[in-house]
Structure 1
Amino acid sequence: MAYIFLALIFLSSSVLLTGCNGSEEDALPRVRVSEVIHSVFYAPQYVALHKGFFEEEGLDVELAIAWGADRGAAALLSNSADIALFGPEAAVYIAREQTDTRLVAFAQLTKRDGSFFLAREPMPDFKWTDVKGKEIIGGRAGGVPQMVQEYVLYHNDVIPHEDVEIIQNIDLGATAQAFENGVGDFVQLFEPGASMVESTGSGHVVASFGEAGGEVPYTVYHATERYIDENPEIIQKFTNAIYRAQIWVDNHTPEEIAEVIRPSFAETDFDILVSAVKRYQQQDTWSKDPLLREDALDKLQEICILAGELDAKVNYEDIVTTKFAKEAIKNISID
């Protein structure tokens, strides 16, 4: 349930608070950004970093990996991050509890699930009903990856936790290794993890949750309401850089994108990196602009309700600001 998710957020925030740091002497304002995982799924973000878009906007961006939306939200609440990238579900859960601190979504990065479904053997005629009676290495309860998985299973006549066993006690960063070590019949992985597992012959991509689940505001940049109120120029510059990167990605090939983001994936073979980018580009993964639309958030909340993590929707205006995205779209040319 969502209250377990919230407990993890506030427990993590009490631990992360000791990690707060920053410098007022930097030539450019330093912005501490927490990404929920490290994945090619967030290619536009790495383009913004390595093409110098953040720097050109006047920001010094420092990235850290949270390994979970609950930990990303905790980083914001503890002031160990200024901006965090994760699914809006964390902001929704916090808003439902009417806590003193609100998390506000201000720029959308991806518009589909970025995970892929791998089996131990090739299954060219795979159907979702093939998972009945099997074991899936899934994600944490209350997180978007797990909820989209359950949404897809429900809509393909498979009842999660009844028709199929879902393993949810493996840390997000260890699921690929667990699968390679023989755990489970199927696994849900992001790129480049999916392509890396395929390259070893340990697994084979048989389906895409991005294609099966349809469009949903999967990962969005958030900040606390207070940080946004106190630093509107930083939020605008950050949003500008992300939009410039979205435009750039939309107009370049997988090979060109892979070359630019290569420094963020130095240990990944370049061919695998290209393959991962191509998969995401072909299924129209990345948002064309940073605007989080109301109908998109509405669908995400319906998925949360179906998963039993939410009993009622929150108002769009309570957790979303469109001011910065609209300003970026208005002032930045797509040419």
Structure 2
Amino acid sequence: MRKVLALLCCTALALTGCRGTSPDDAGGDGTLPSIRIMVGGIDKVIYLPAKLTEQLGYFKAEGLQVQLLTEPSGATAENVLIAGDVQGVVGFYDHTIDLQTKGKCIESVVQFADVPGEVEIVGKDSDVKSPADFKGKKLGVTSPGSSTDFLTQYLATKAGLESGDYTTVKAGAGQTFIAAIDNGGIDAGMTTDPTAAQLVSTGKGKVLIDMRTEEGTKAALGGLYPASSLYMDCGWVGEHPEAVQKLANALVKTLRWIGSHKPEEIAAKMPKEYAAGNPDLYVKAVHDSIGMFNGDGLMKEEGARNVLEVLSLFSPNVKGKKDQVDLSKTYTTEYVSKVAP
């Protein structure tokens, strides 16, 4: 696993740099540990606060050495955290619940959003008008066991379908997802911006279900569904409270910055390569998704309960264990609550 991480860091992760520091090296003030954070798709708008914090210089302002790495699947990113190769993951909160059923204590320390930020996209000539039409269709998800997998199953079941009525297909994100829609590999699929913006702008896809807003999320899922977050191992958090507080300070400051700036200003701060040669389209992607961020980093208790409800129906690890899950150990508001106004 460590060899794989090193390879990712020094090749595909060249965007973020590879300093080769270990988690035990001194941080910017000589005492804080350096921190590796794996992002489940660093160019996805749903995880934008992580890279934006780096771009704004807020990690450095807190005296932190933070190295952002990337892995396209949240399910894979959590494995790197469990292996101890990174100290945090920017990914969906639901992983903390799933992992607790495996005996792992992982907690969200900064909650970026109260909604998934996902959209269900259908092909331009698709006859799918609602989840009830998923029957007999191939539905794209990031990977098996991912958050998009569970949400897709929830939408289908809510529409009255059984698991055997449709097929889920690993479609990844970005260009692999676009290709899957384009060549008929999938009939519909769940993805985020900027992938969604690319599909819609080119006429290759249409938004069927929009979970980038609170209204759309409640309509689709029956309540809030906290998703994008920074989650970390409980033990590491307990051993490094000062470092975690500084992470919270930096990230909440970014969430506030997002709330007070226009999509054009936000997009301009991001690496140019994220726009993939189309700055205007990237601005649209930011515009369409930026409202998902909560501005304060706080978890809403009712949202956490709704995530547990969904997972208890579709996660193989959570089924039958709903009453055994202690939600209070899957997130903490201790650090974001202490961030200065």
Cα gap change, 1:297 to 1:237, in 2 (>3 Å): same
When residues 260 and 122 of structure 1 are mapped into structure 2, their CA distance, relative to the original with a 3 A threshold, is: farther
Shift of 1:143: 2.1
Q: Which of 43, 46, 62 lines up with 1:41 in the alignment?
A: 46
What residue in structure 2 maps to residue 187 of structure 1?
189
Higher deviation after alignment, 27-36 or 56-65: 27-36
RMSD: 2.8
Q: Which secondary structure does the structure 1 equivalent of 2:196 belong to?
A: helix
SS in 1 for 2:21: coil
CA distance 1:135–1:168, shift in 2 (3 Å): closer
In the alignment, the residues of structure 1 paired with residue 156 and residue 205 of structure 2 have an alpha-carbon distance, to the nearest angstrom, of 20
Tell me which residue corresponds to 2:245.
Answer: 236
Is the CA contact 2:122–2:208 (under 8 Å) kept in the aligned structure 1? yes
Q: Structure 1 counterpart of 2:39, which letter?
A: E
Alignment partners' CA distance in 1, 2:272 and 2:64: 19
Instruction: Evaluate the alpha carbon distance shift between residue 103 and residue 286 of structure 1 in structure 2; reply closer, same or farther with a 3 A threshold.
Output: same
TM-score, normalisation: structure 2: 0.81
* Residues 183-262 of structure 1 mapped to structure 2, 5 A cutoff: 183-210=185-212, 211=216, 212-213=220-221, 214-262=223-271
User: CA 1:97/1:72 → structure 2, altered by over 3 Å: closer, same or farther?
Assistant: same
CA distance in 2 between counterparts of 1:124 and 1:132 reads: 11
Looking at structure 1, the residues matched to 207 and 284 of structure 2 have their Cα atoms a distance apart, in angstroms, of 12
Within 2, Cα distance between the matches of 1:208 and 1:258? 21
Q: What residue in structure 2 maps to residue 64 of structure 1?
A: 69
By how many angstroms is 1:17 displaced? 9.5
Shift in Å, 1:124: 11
Distance 1:33 1:251, change over 3 A: same
CA 1:230–1:285 in structure 2 vs 1: closer, same or farther (change >3 Å)? same
Question: Which residue number corresponds to residue 156 of structure 2?
Answer: 153
Distance in 1 (alpha carbons) for counterparts of 2:279 and 2:77:
29
Instruction: Please name the residue that 2:293 is paired with.
Output: 286
User: What's 1:319 paired with?
Assistant: 330
- 5+ long unaligned stretches in structure 2: 10-19
Aligned AA for 1:220? Answer: S
After superposing the two structures, state which structure 1 stretch, 237-246 or 206-215, moved more: 206-215
Paired with 1:279 and 1:44, the residues of 2 have a C-alpha distance of 15
Q: Corresponding residue for 2:312?
A: 305
Match of 2:78 among 70, 73, 77: 73
C-alpha distance after superposition, 1:79-113 (max 9, x if no partner): 211111122332223322325xx222211112211
The correspondence for 1:116, drawn from 106, 119, 131, is: 119
Distance 1:47 1:19 in 2: 21
Decide which of 30, 35, 39 is 2:34's aligned counterpart.
30
The DSSP-based 3-state class of the residue aligned with 1:63 is strand
Q: Tell me the distance in 1 between the aligned counterparts of 2:39 and 2:240.
A: 20
Give the residue type in structure 1 aligned to 2:118.
S
Gaps of 5+ in 1: 1-11
Q: 1:247 offset after TM fit, Å?
A: 0.8
Aligned length in residues: 313
Q: Corresponding residue for 1:166?
A: 167
- The one-letter amino acid paired with 2:68 is L
Letter in 2 for 1:70: A
In the TM superposition, what is the alpha-carbon distance from 1:246 to its structure 2 partner? 0.8
CA distance, structure 1, for counterparts of residue 7 and residue 190 of structure 2? 33
